[in-house]
Amino acid sequence: MRKIIIDAFPDGKVMNYRELNERIREAARKGFEEIEVKNVRGQRFIGAGMKEKVKIRVYGDAGLNLGVFSEGPDYVVHGCSEYLLGNTLNGGEIAVYGDSWDITGMGARGGRIFVMGDGGSRVGIHMKSFKEKHPAIVYGGTVKQYCGEYMAGGTIVVLGLDYREAIMNGKRLISKGKIDPEKIREHKGNIVQSDLGAGIHGGRIYVRGNIRDELLGVYAVKGELCEEDEKELTPLLVRYSELFNTPIELIMEKEFTKIQPISSRPFEKVYDATPI
C-alpha cells in the first residue's frame, strides 16, 4: 500500500486549511492509497468533496466539515471532530476515536459515521435515503437535543457507553488497541435529551435502553422492534464493535428502543392546499 505522511503543523506553524486540503487532494491524485495527516490543529474541510477511494488518517482534532460532500474516502480521526462532521456525506466511512459535536451528518445521503464518544445537538438533521444509499450514524456515548430532527431516511444509533476509564495510559489520541474493553462503563442518566426525532418523517432512531416518552419530539413515536430492525442494526453494531474494541455482548446487554415517524407526511395538515 502506497502511503504518504503530511504534517499539518510544519515548523511549529499551523498550515492553512486550504493548503492542507490541496496537499491531501494532490496525494490522492498521485495514487497514494493511505494519507496520514499528523498534528492537525482544527483545520477545516478535510477531504471536502473527494471521490477517490483512499484512506485518510487524521491525528489531532479536526475542524468543521470533515468529509463534507465526500463520497470515496474512508476517514479515521484519532482525536475529536468539531461541528458538521460528514455534512452531506455521500459515501465512505468516518470513524472518530473521540467526540464529535453538533450537526453531525447533516443532510447525509450515504456512507456511515461511527463516533466513539459523545455528540452535541441536531445529530443527523435532514438525513435522507435514496435508492440503494442508506446513511447511518452510530454514537457510542450520548447526544443532546433534537437528535434526528427532520430525518427523511437513514439510521441513527445511540449506545450510551462511557469510555473515559477505558482509554489506556490516559491517551486522548487513541486507536482500537488503546481501548481496554474491561473498563467500558454505562453512562448514568439520560443518553439522549429533549425533542428526539422532532419532525421525523423517514428513517429510524435506535437508542440502547429505555427512554422516557417526554423526551420524544413532535411527530416521533416509539415502535416495536422487528426482524427488519435486527437486519438493519446488526451490521452497524458489529462494525462499531470492531472499530472501538467493544464486546458485542456488552452492546447487546440492553434492548433497544426504536423511534420512528408517526407518518411519512406529518406536516400535511399544516399547509393550506386551497387553490389561490
Residues 58-103 have pLDDT tens digits of 999 999 999 999 999 999 999 999 999 999 999 999 999 999 999 9
Please report whether residue 271 resides in a domain.
no
Same domain, yes or no, for 90 and 218? yes
pLDDT at 272: 53
Same domain, yes or no, for 141 and 225? yes
Same domain, yes or no, for 143 and 239? yes
* Total count of domains within the chain: 2
**Which of 79, 33, 76, 78 has its CA nearest to residue 52?**
33
- DSSP reduced 3-state for 87: coil
Evaluate if residue 276 carries a pLDDT over 60.
no
Number of CB atoms found within 10 A of residue 26's CB: 13
Beta bridge pairs of residue 257: 207
d(CA 246, CA 249): 9
**C-alpha cell read off for 6:** 503530511
d(CA 257, CA 225): 8
Half-sphere exposure of 156 toward its Cβ, with a 13 Å CA cutoff? 37
Please report whether residue 65 resides in a domain.
no
Q: Find the domain containing 15 and state its range.
A: 1-56
**Which of 112, 115, 113, 90 has its CA nearest to residue 100?**
115
Q: What is the average pLDDT score of the chain? A: 95
Same domain, yes or no, for 135 and 14? no
> Cβ(67)–Cβ(83) under 8 Å?
no
Same domain, yes or no, for 154 and 40? no
The pLDDT of 18-41, averaged and rounded, is 98
Please report whether residue 186 resides in a domain.
yes
Task: Kindly state the percentage of the chain with pLDDT values over 70.
Answer: 96
